[in-house]
Chains A and B, each alone.
Chain A
Amino acid sequence: KQEVTQIPAALSVPEGENLVLNCSFTDSAIYNLQWFRQDPGKGLTSLLLIQSSQREQTSGRLNASLDKSSGRSTLYIAASQPGDSATYLCAVRTESGGSYIPTFGRGTSLIVHP
């Protein structure tokens, strides 16, 4: 059974800092890993998806990397802003009888203060 862990659980940083969020998974036979952002009381917004054959993906100030063999992904946020404050979740998609059910971590709650 796939298990996903996110460290740290919470993070508070001053505006402008570069930061790294971590996601680890137990079963390396994944199809892809997707990073999401969730604002309080809202659904999840997709940030980046890395396929198992890829090493990294970039979108603006966000860069996600994947080391499938070691079961790890990192989300790098450059020059953080107060608007980045949210919970960040990673989801790993693993094949299971053709269903490809995404499994989520508990998330990292990020606060960026001015």
Chain B
Amino acid sequence: DTGVSQNPRHKITKRGQNVTFRCDPISEHNRLYWYRQTLGQGPEFLTYFQNEAQLEKSRLLSDRFSAERPKGSFSTLEIQRTEQGDSAMYLCASSLLDPNSPLHFGNGTRLTVT
């Protein structure tokens, strides 16, 4: 069990550029969640996958955001035409299908949009 892995750890980009983040969940975990966290706030839900199916999307997820989980393994989160307001920590979490199984988080990707 190597835990949830996120890459890159840090990303600095200029406004208007596209960025993509990757999350590798714990291998047997069916559920995968993306959250966004800004300073002093708790994580805010963005989107959820069960295996390869994207089942929930938050209203926070504008049209500039897209997420995929091909083959139900790793997941990517892409932000197009980044804005300064997108600067945040992007966190990925995974769990087993049992809703009473604990959530495991990666170390996050810190995005700074200049």
Q: Measuring CB to CB, which residues of chain A are less than 8 angstroms from any residue of chain B?
A: 4, 6, 31-32, 34, 36, 41-46, 49, 51, 89, 91, 93, 95-107
Contacts and interface: CB of A to CB of B under 8 A. Distances in A.
A102 B42 contact: no
B103 interface: yes
The 10 A-B residue pairs with the shortest CB-CB distance in the complex, in nearest-first order: A104-B42, A100-B99, A43-B105, A44-B105, A43-B107, A106-B42, A49-B102, A99-B56, A31-B99, A104-B43
Choose among B41, B55, B99 the residue with the greatest number of A CB atoms under 10 Å from its CB. Answer: B99
Nearest to A96: B56
A44 B33 CA distance: 13
A3 B39 CA distance: 19
Interface of B: 4, 6, 31, 33, 35, 40-45, 48, 50, 55-56, 91, 93, 99-100, 102-108, 110
A105 B31 CA distance: 21
A106 B42 CA distance: 4
Choose among A6, A45, A100, A107 the residue with the greatest number of B CB atoms under 10 Å from its CB. Answer: A100
Choose among A4, A31, A101, A107 the residue with the greatest number of B CB atoms under 10 Å from its CB. Answer: A101
24 contacts: A31-B100, A32-B100, A42-B107, A42-B108, A43-B91, A43-B107, A44-B93, A46-B102, A46-B104, A51-B100, A91-B43, A91-B103, A95-B99, A96-B56, A97-B56, A100-B31, A101-B33, A101-B45, A102-B33, A102-B45, A104-B42, A104-B43, A104-B44, A105-B42
A32 B105 CA distance: 17
